[in-house]
Amino acid sequence: MRILAVDDDPVILDILEECLPNEGQHELVCCGSAEEALAITQTEERPFDCLLLDIMLPGVDGITLCDQYRQSAAYRTTPIIMITASTASELMEAAFRAGATDFLCKPLDLIELRARINAAGMLNASLHREQEARSTLEALSEKLHLRFDEEIALDVSGVGDALALENALLRMPEGCYAMSLFSLDIVGLRGIHRAVPAPAFRHHIEAVAEAAVEGLEGRAWRLAYVGSGRFVGLVMGRMRLNTGDVLSQINASLALSWDEAASGTPQPPVLRLNTITDQRLWSGLSASDALRAHLENNDTLSELASEDSENALFDRLEMAIEGDH
């Protein structure tokens, strides 16, 4: 257990340094002021598991320091043991209000010190187990409610769902508009859905959405995620959409930003970008009808989610993940 001790009395720090490391299971860091303690915890990559704070410190006192640590996400639940020579009830009450877990009275009793440290260690271990269990439960809960064909609400600016895209088209003033309708598919996403946890599955879709936004930069576009690994969208303008160029830009952006740890897979997925129709001139209503018909085309969707091809992709994905680890 990593322990940070803050006390301006060198005798107390000497006692702690002599006592705790001899237990063979503690790593102790000592300092003499609140300011020094804050500087240490801000530079440490791994948070301490327990804090020993003297109440009477020069400058910022131990109770204020305790309160500051409790306002930090890294130390919100960390055991904090206050060290004090005072038995004043109001002082102890103020420390408890600031978030103190326990007290040690000076002069230090080594048996009591070890008992309080061991209790803090058990509390810390219990908190870690609870946090891991909560994270596992959240992932399982999300998995149960996250279907492969679900129109997931993505946290990507400008990317909505099918209904939002349809509403935007239907609100367009009457007239004839030059636009290209397209679909962007994540090939093999069903296999990914089966192979990785729900947060990683969501990360795949959001990473593709962000890359698509970058790939469409400089154009007037709208994009929606409609489930089953498919995006549909439109690009306004007389120029015919060059799907090859746009796909290359999307793939380049995706490769550059790919996060293997967050996605659970070593490489970004394969994407497929196609225009939905060669028609170039649309009203808002006719474009909305065309997109709806496209989404209702069972043959197109079944081609994307073909069980044989998905199983083959799933097998290759599992082999890639196992080989990478």
* Residue-range domains of the chain with CATH: 2-143 (3.40.50.2300), 146-324 (3.30.70.270)
pLDDT at 231: 96
* pLDDT over 60 (residue 250): yes
* pLDDT over 90 (residue 268): yes
* pLDDT over 70 (residue 284): yes
Write out the DSSP string of 232-251.
EEEEESSSPP-HHHHHHHHH
Mean pLDDT calculated for residue range 218-236: 94
pLDDT at 283: 95
Higher pLDDT, 26 or 8: 8
On the CB side of 266, CA atoms within 13 Å amount to 10
Stated pTM of the model: 0.52
pLDDT at 145: 61
Q: Residue 300: pLDDT band by 50, 70, 90 thresholds? A: very low
According to DSSP, the residues that pair with 225 across neighbouring strands are 231
Q: Residue 303: pLDDT band by 50, 70, 90 thresholds? A: very low
Q: Residue 136: pLDDT band by 50, 70, 90 thresholds? A: low
Q: How far apart are the first and last CA of the chain?
A: 29
* pLDDT over 80 (residue 196): yes
| Average per-residue pLDDT for the chain | 85
- Please state, in angstroms and rounded to a whole number, the distance separating the CA atoms of residues 170 and 13: 73
**DSSP character at residue 116:** H
- Please state, in angstroms and rounded to a whole number, the distance separating the CA atoms of residues 223 and 210: 11
224 φ/ψ angles, rounded to the nearest 5 degrees: -140, 140
- Please state, in angstroms and rounded to a whole number, the distance separating the CA atoms of residues 325 and 323: 5
